[in-house]
Amino acid sequence: MSGSAIAMMVSICTLLWGGFLFLLGFIWKLEKKRDEGRPDAARKTNPDI
Amino acid sequence: MKETFTSRWALLLAAIGMAIGTGNIWRFPRIIAQNGGAPFLIPWFLFLFLWSIPLLIIEFGIGKKTRMGTIGAFGSINRGFTWMGGFVGFCTLAITFYYCVVTGWCFRYTIASLVDLAVPSGAIPGGGLRGAETTSYWNSFMSTPWQPVFFHLLGIFTASAIIYRGVVNGIEKANKLLIPALFTLLIIAAVRAVTLPGAAEGMNFLFEPRWRDLLNYRIWLAGLSQSAWSTGAGWGLILTYAVYMRRNDDIVANSFLTGLGNNSASLLAAIAIIPTVFAILPTQQAISTVTETGPVSTGLTFIWIPRLFEEIAGGRIFLFVFFLALSIAALSSLISMVELGTRIVMDFGLTRRRSILIVGSACFLFGLPSALNPGFFQNQDWVWSVGLLLNGILFAILVIRYGVERFRRDSVDVPDSDFKLGRVFNFVVKIMIPIEFLAMMTWWFTQAILHYDPDFWWHPFRTFSIGTCILQWGLLIVFLLVFNRPIQRRLFGININGPVPEEENRGGIGP
């Protein structure tokens, strides 16, 4: 593969798959935080609640 | 109360399953090859943000706000536009009629490639692909009428059986299984392809930037069209799934993830196919092979892929992986299409069970001509694929008439939103989408006049003419306008003040 093809491949794949995986991770964290904030989740970690 | 997805992940998997269809695996590698490889990727990626994602945001917003299928959703926002919702819904259903047929083909080839795996050597009973002359294999499949009809029935039956179980037990569970499996299969196929000796040439073809090609307007229009068709934006499918999203679920991040997930799968499919072709065939032949359309655009997928996979080590396994991925992609999209029809019928007060029966039977009956006659299939593909571009502008018109700023504040940039869009959304909806729509319509109609049917482009009964589009869209629009008021009365009379259907109370569809 030529250098320019490799550069293009890295750019496109980073933008596309990187963007997809970044958003997945972002939503994952956000949902985890939301789940922890829910009363039933808090009860699971602290039985006294 | 309508059923809702149990989590955000369930909604996202269903949305990605809707977006990834046969077009990602079947059409995208061919289109990228026809447009010279890497330069095409730039407009294709750009228009994801300028056409597809804004329309996905609009669909999510309308579905979440109105909680009705396409007809009810358009009518809820603007009574006078109820017919537009009817056009959007019917256009997607018309595609569903022949998409069931395509799903059936994918099922047939998956079974054939499985037979190859199951039978170690010698004669292959039951129609395996190994050793068969793939063109005559395809022709024999298509010329034995019971086969396309049976597999068409199998496609619609499978999708109907899944959505019969409801949103959580059917759509959600199926997509939780199908989408991770699809990505896994695509990754396996892509890794195999790039590790083949000689695959570098294919990767070079796919990624070598030829900047001068960006001056060619065809590449931009092809990128825009692919982006418009592939993500499912403007089909009304995301609107249908948004009916079942939870009250506090975000719209913007979900739309971006759906669009990026769809394009990620497309790129994986291209990496799985193009280097494989280049690894086996000499360069010029490889280029002509990946750009070849064949009967009803099946050349690369159903004729060349089986032939080429025969040549590589472990080819039979990878052929099965390829067709299984294709079948999963087809099925996950077909589920959303059948659900679109079912949701529309349910809005008229019918139970889910009856609605599925009506929509499933209609899909089977109206899909029969496409299963039996490739000419009819091609005509329907032409008319309603271009019709989808109209769908996109109808969504934009609905929001422009409602007020883009008002829509953004009321439905998109709400406190629960993970991201705020800002005014750039207004610009894209008001300016960019209409311009893109005009460019695409001009382009496709010019193609019809200059290339597809130069002598009879006006003729209403030709396969690829403008006349056939105008005739079929016109008949549909006249029908919808005539019945606009009765549809409104029936729809809103029942859903605003009427009783909840009994089956929903029993819990089949219930909360």
Closest CB to B204 among A2, A12, A23: A2
pLDDT of residue B295: 59
CA–CA separation, B79 vs B485, rounded Å?
A: 9
CA–CA separation, B204 vs B277, rounded Å?
A: 13
pLDDT of residue B324: 92
Which chain A residues are closer than 8 Å to B256 by Cβ? 19, 23
Map residue B188 onto helix, strand or coil: helix
ipTM of the complex: 0.84
Closest CB to A16 among B206, B208, B267: B267
Vertex B159 angle, CA B156 and B165, to 5°? 135
SS3 readout for A7-39: HHHHHHHHHHHHHHHHHHHHHHHHHHHHHHHCH
Diameter of chain B by CA atoms? Answer: 68
Q: For residue B280, what are the CA distances in angstroms to B120, B193, B308, B311, B312? A: 24, 11, 7, 7, 8
- Reading chain B (511 residues) residue by residue, the pLDDT tens digits are 678 999 999 999 999 999 998 889 888 888 888 888 888 999 999 999 999 999 999 999 999 999 999 999 999 999 889 999 999 999 999 999 999 999 999 999 999 888 876 765 455 555 566 666 777 888 888 888 899 999 999 999 999 999 999 999 999 999 999 999 999 988 998 998 899 888 898 899 899 888 888 888 889 988 999 998 889 999 999 999 999 999 888 899 999 999 999 999 999 999 988 888 888 888 887 887 777 766 556 667 788 788 777 777 778 888 888 899 999 999 999 999 999 999 999 999 999 999 999 999 999 999 999 999 989 998 999 999 999 999 999 999 999 999 999 999 998 888 878 888 888 999 999 999 999 999 999 999 999 999 888 888 888 889 889 999 999 999 999 999 999 888 988 888 744 444 444 443 333 333 2
CB B349 within 8 A of CB B206: no
Considering Cα of B458, then B463, then B468, then B473, what sign does the dihedral take? negative
Q: Do B8 and A6 touch (CB under 8 A)?
A: no
Note the pTM of the prediction, 2 decimals. 0.90
Q: Which residues, 6+ apart, have CB-to-CB distance to B450 below 8 Å?
A: none
CA–CA separation, B436 vs A3, rounded Å?
A: 34
Interface residues from chain B to A (CB-CB < 8 Å): 7-9, 12, 38, 41, 45, 200, 203-204, 206-209, 253, 256-257, 260-261, 263-264, 267, 418
CB B264 within 8 A of CB A17: yes
Q: How large is the angle between the packed helices B283-291 and B252-280, nearest 10 degrees?
A: 140
Neighbouring C-beta atoms of residue B380, cutoff 10 Å:
24
pLDDT in tens, A21-48: 999 999 999 888 888 876 655 555 554 4
pLDDT of residue B294: 62
Burial class of residue B90 (count of CB atoms within 10 Å of its CB; 0-12, 13-18, 19+): buried
The first and second tokens of residue B52, run together, are: 């597809």
pLDDT of residue B497: 43
CB B81 within 8 A of CB B490: no
Domain coordinates in residue numbering, chain B:
8-497
Q: Do A16 and B418 touch (CB under 8 A)?
A: no
Question: What DSSP string runs through B331-371?
Answer: HHHHHHHHHHHHHHHHHTT--HHHHHHHHHHHHHHHHHHHH
CA–CA separation, B447 vs B466, rounded Å?
A: 10
**At the top level of CATH, which class does the domain B8-497 belong to?**
mainly alpha
Burial class of residue B151 (count of CB atoms within 10 Å of its CB; 0-12, 13-18, 19+): buried
CA–CA separation, B365 vs B465, rounded Å?
A: 25
CB B79 within 8 A of CB B396: no
